Amino acid sequence: MALPDGDPVALLDAFLQVHAQRSAAPVQLYAHGEELYQRLAAAPPAKPQWGRFLVALGSMAADDFDDAAAASRYFLSCLQGVDRHGDHEAAITAGYDQGVLQERRRNPTHARAAYRAAASEGFRLRCVTANTVRAAVGAVRLYFAEYELLDEQHRTLAKQAWLAWLWLRIAQPEQLDRELCRELGRQLCALLLPEDHPEALAERWRTWAPATLETATGAWHDGQPACLTELFAVAAESANEHLGDEGPDPAAPYRLLWEASKRG
């Protein structure tokens, strides 16, 4: 059945609703999506629905039909067209999904570039979401795996990811899933926690740029008491999870810092 005529935004809304509900066969829905894309791509509506539509279509191409080329085309279109459609979260998700797609294709260089672009854009736009953090974590992970160190750009992404993690724990904890926190904690242990002087954590933390993360509700500083309290909490949790082979209770000094921070 051919796609009916109608208002472009109404058609996008209808597609997104059916996609969310999975109330149509994937083959039929994807065919309608491709037709709608061809109809609107030359002059897409300057509406957030266009960005969400591209993410949905790209996800279907990758997950339901294993069409990496089509998925990449849709994801890149969403990321590059963010100034028009205005949905920053959709653009960041598209960039992150592009990175995941390139990792599946065993192309870590392109994956790292996609993750880095998505994370950098997310932090620039003050869009502190789980996918912004996932993209930063992915870029840092792949860069460190290749070079066994971080350059200035990836050190910045690591610090921004940790700052965002601590902020989300307070502001929007529902965004944080177990696997994301586990990877953040692993990187925290590998890159930041002092090996011999745990009491120096706060000092080391504040010497790692940047000192501030801009969020939708204002600036989040690495020296704020609430930020340091969360830092000590995740340090204790992460040491307990990832440093168990370094002693009977590697989290103990960080728990003491956390308890003292809560008191004072």
Q: Answer yes or no: are the C-beta atoms of 220 and 213 closer than 8 Å.
A: yes
Of the candidates 22, 16, 21, 18, the residue with the CA atom closest to the CA atom of residue 54: 16
What are the pLDDT digits (tens) for 4-63?
Answer: 677 999 999 999 999 998 867 889 899 999 999 999 999 999 999 999 999 999 999 988
More confident residue, 264 or 114: 114
DSSP helix/strand/coil, 216: coil
Cα 61 from chain centroid? 21
pLDDT at 3 over 70: no
pLDDT at residue number 22:
80
What are the pLDDT digits (tens) for 226-247?
Answer: 999 999 999 999 999 999 777 7
State the alpha helices, DSSP H only, in 64-171.
68-80, 82-85, 88-104, 108-124, 130-147, 152-171
Average pLDDT, the chain: 93
d(CA 257, CA 17): 48
Crossing angle for the helix pair 68-80 and 108-124, to the nearest 10 degrees? 30
d(CA 185, CA 11): 43
What are the pLDDT digits (tens) for 59-89?
Answer: 999 888 889 889 989 998 998 898 899 999 9
Residues linked to residue 195 through DSSP beta bridges, in sequence order: none
Largest CA distance in the chain: 68
Q: Answer yes or no: are the C-beta atoms of 91 and 58 closer than 8 Å.
A: no
What are the pLDDT digits (tens) for 157-196?
Answer: 999 999 999 999 999 999 999 999 999 999 999 999 998 8
